[in-house]
Amino acid sequence: MLNGNTALISSLGASRDGSGEIMGRALKEAANITTTHGYRYFIVLTADDTSSRTTVWLRGEKIPLPVARTRTLGNMPYPASTYMLPDRMITRFKPSLDIIIQMYKQGEIDPAMAGVWSADALRAGNVAVLPNE
């Protein structure tokens, strides 16, 4: 809670989640917080994409290639071979979203206004949030 009727909600997702899923989670959590604090409606004041990308360097893997040991090279046994896969870089993506909501009790805001969310309707699943991407 940022103050009596304003809250910050963070929604984290897996790399395969679309922005619609992340926003849906944030709005459902906003509905839960709204109801828990005795309010009925909320509006979203800000929505910030807090997703992150991290690039990680991975060393190539060693793969032993067995060779028959009966052969010799001069007086030394023929060595087994090792193949080294190339190094690679992978990028990891962690989607996340922060929203700040302001909550209202019955009669403090017109629920028919654009941008006003009903906590009860969201919690009951009666509101389509956003399509998945």
User: How do residues 33-73 score in pLDDT, each as one tens digit?
Assistant: 999 999 999 999 999 999 999 999 999 898 887 665 555 55
Taking the C-alpha atoms of residue 8 and residue 24, their distance in angstroms, rounded to an integer, is 15
Question: 28 and 62 in one domain?
Answer: no
Q: Are residues 42 and 67 in the same domain?
A: no
Here the tokens at position 32 are 């839960």
DSSP bridge pairs for 72: 77
Number of domain units in the chain: 2
Say whether 10 sits in a helix, a strand or coil. Answer: strand
Q: Which residue has the higher pLDDT, 63 or 78?
A: 63
Q: Could you tell me the pTM of the whole model?
A: 0.72
**The domain containing residue 45 runs over which residues?**
1-51+95-133
102 lies in the same domain as 71: no
- Residue 63 — φ and ψ, nearest 5°? -120, 110
Same domain for 3 and 37, yes or no, is yes
Task: Report the C-alpha gap between 56 and 26 in whole angstroms.
Answer: 29
